[in-house]
Amino acid sequence: MNSSLQGEFTGARTPVVGIYEDSSAFFDILSRRQAHQPTLLQSTHQHYAANEKNAEHLNQKPGDAESTPRRESTKERNRLNAKKSRMRLKNHQQNLVEKIADLTEKCRVGGLERQDIQQRNQIIKDEHRKLVQLVLDQRAVGCLFWDTWNTVLAPDFIMCLPVTPYRYFDPLEVRNGRRVCHGIEGMLRDVASLAELMLAFEHEQGKNTPGKICFTMDHTEEVQVANMFYSRWTMEFMVHPPLVSFAVRGFVQAWINIDKKLQSLSLHFDTLNVIKKLNSSPGFEMIPNTCELALQASNKARIITSALPPHVIEHVNDAWLQLFEYRIEEVKNCTLDVTDGPLSDKNKLRSLIEYGKYFLARSSVVVQYKKNGQPFWSLVRIMTLRNQHNRPHRYGPYNGGVENFHYLFVFEVINR
């Protein structure tokens, strides 16, 4: 081998020029070197290719070459799962939309039902208010018409109210410190008693001008629970309307039955205020239970009888004679049986007289007859006459050890 070629492969770093004898040999060696050394671009591509190959080699798992079908199945499964997820999401959204629409419709229907229920309750409330207001108004005007009360009160009607002084009522009506009136008869007795009470205020004005009672219910303070009605009310007594001389506030509780009639009525009010107002009156005698008052002229039918059987009539006034169409000579020395007839309940009258023995005032609704045989209903009140010393009045001597006192009977016609 040539010495110059041997020096090339041995890597000698001696300058080429001066070693070789001619230039042709030098260029021949240089061309062979360039043929073995790649260009810069080729070396760069080779470098990137080597790096990619190394990266694939590092990322490649054992047996990955055989797992290509598995990867395809995984991709297919993931694609199907994604599709199912999108379908579930779409169905869920659709269900939510349907539920919202359903709930909206239910709310709308429920709102209409509640509105309908409120309207029906308001109608029932208005009917109950009108019924209670009608009862209070009839009580205020002193209505004694049996048929009128029969249209608004149940047969077993019950009314409860506080015990008010200066009013006559049946002692048996008091239960646990309150008055309890039963039936239409109890309402009629209470109406007549209320009218007598108002006479004190009329007399207080000095002219005995007929007064006016007005019951007003507060619509802003009403409660309706099933068949129960609660409300606040104000009773005003006006002698010279519209001037109010006396007013009392109270609370009413009413129970209306299925026949739209008043089953029970309970009145609550400030009794002390009523007592204070009554005490300020000039002492007008509301109940004519003295001999002097009983003998005075009155537009109400009155008779005075003996307290001993058979209760002989000893005095009658003109109003009684006009009511029963008798003459004074026809009833002289007669008894209470003169006004009895086939429909008369003598037990009621006897019970009145029995309470008179205990010097208690009492009233009852009975059937009586005129001279021509015409029956009518009347409210009868019995009171024991007293003298100026507040003792039972007697016209004659003692009879068998029993004091011969007298009864005063007051009659009021009830239109039935």
Contact present, 287 and 298 (Cβ < 8 Å)? no
Look up the pTM and report it: 0.57
* Tens digit of each residue's pLDDT (9 = 90 or more) over 174-221: 888 888 999 998 898 888 878 766 665 555 544 445 567 888 888 888
Q: Is residue 395 in some structural domain? A: yes
Question: Same domain, yes or no, for 271 and 190?
Answer: yes
Q: Tell me whether residue 282 is exposed, middle or buried, using C-beta atoms within 10 angstroms of its C-beta: 0 to 12, 13 to 18, 19 or more.
A: exposed
* Tens digit of each residue's pLDDT (9 = 90 or more) over 326-338: 999 898 889 888 8
Separation between Cα atoms, residue 386 and residue 309, nearest integer Å: 19
Question: Same domain, yes or no, for 392 and 344?
Answer: yes
Question: Same domain, yes or no, for 162 and 136?
Answer: yes
Residue at a domain's end among 253, 280, 307: 280
User: What per-residue confidence (pLDDT) applies to 401?
Assistant: 36
Q: Is residue 221 in some structural domain? A: yes
Q: Is residue 109 in some structural domain? A: no
Continuous H helices in 141-225: 146-150, 183-204
Question: Same domain, yes or no, for 206 and 183?
Answer: yes
Q: Residue 51: pLDDT above 70?
A: no
Question: Same domain, yes or no, for 247 and 139?
Answer: yes
Separation between Cα atoms, residue 157 and residue 162, nearest integer Å: 17
Q: Is residue 84 in some structural domain? A: no
Q: Is residue 24 in some structural domain? A: no
DSSP 375-386: EEEEEEEEEE-B
Q: What share of residues in the chain are helix, strand, coil (percent, to 5)? A: 45, 25, 30
Element (H, E) at 52: helix 40-59
For residues 203-235, one letter each, b for 16 or more C-beta atoms within 10 angstroms of the residue's C-beta and e for the rest, the string is bbeeeeeebbbbbebeeeebebeeeebbbbbeb
Out of 186-190, 195-199, 311-315, 347-351, least confident range = 195-199
- Domain range enclosing 181: 126-280
Q: Is residue 172 in some structural domain? A: yes
Average pLDDT, integer, range 311-319: 89
Separation between Cα atoms, residue 251 and residue 268, nearest integer Å: 5
* Tens digit of each residue's pLDDT (9 = 90 or more) over 99-126: 999 999 989 888 888 888 888 888 888 9
Out of 70-74, 371-375, 394-398, least confident range = 394-398
Residue at a domain's end among 236, 255, 280: 280
User: What per-residue confidence (pLDDT) applies to 128?
Assistant: 92
Separation between Cα atoms, residue 251 and residue 161, nearest integer Å: 10
Question: Same domain, yes or no, for 269 and 296?
Answer: no
Residue at a domain's end among 280, 305, 340: 280
Q: Is residue 54 in some structural domain? A: no
* CATH code of the domain containing 217: 3.10.450.50
* CATH code of the domain containing 305: 3.30.450.20
User: What per-residue confidence (pLDDT) applies to 199?
Assistant: 62
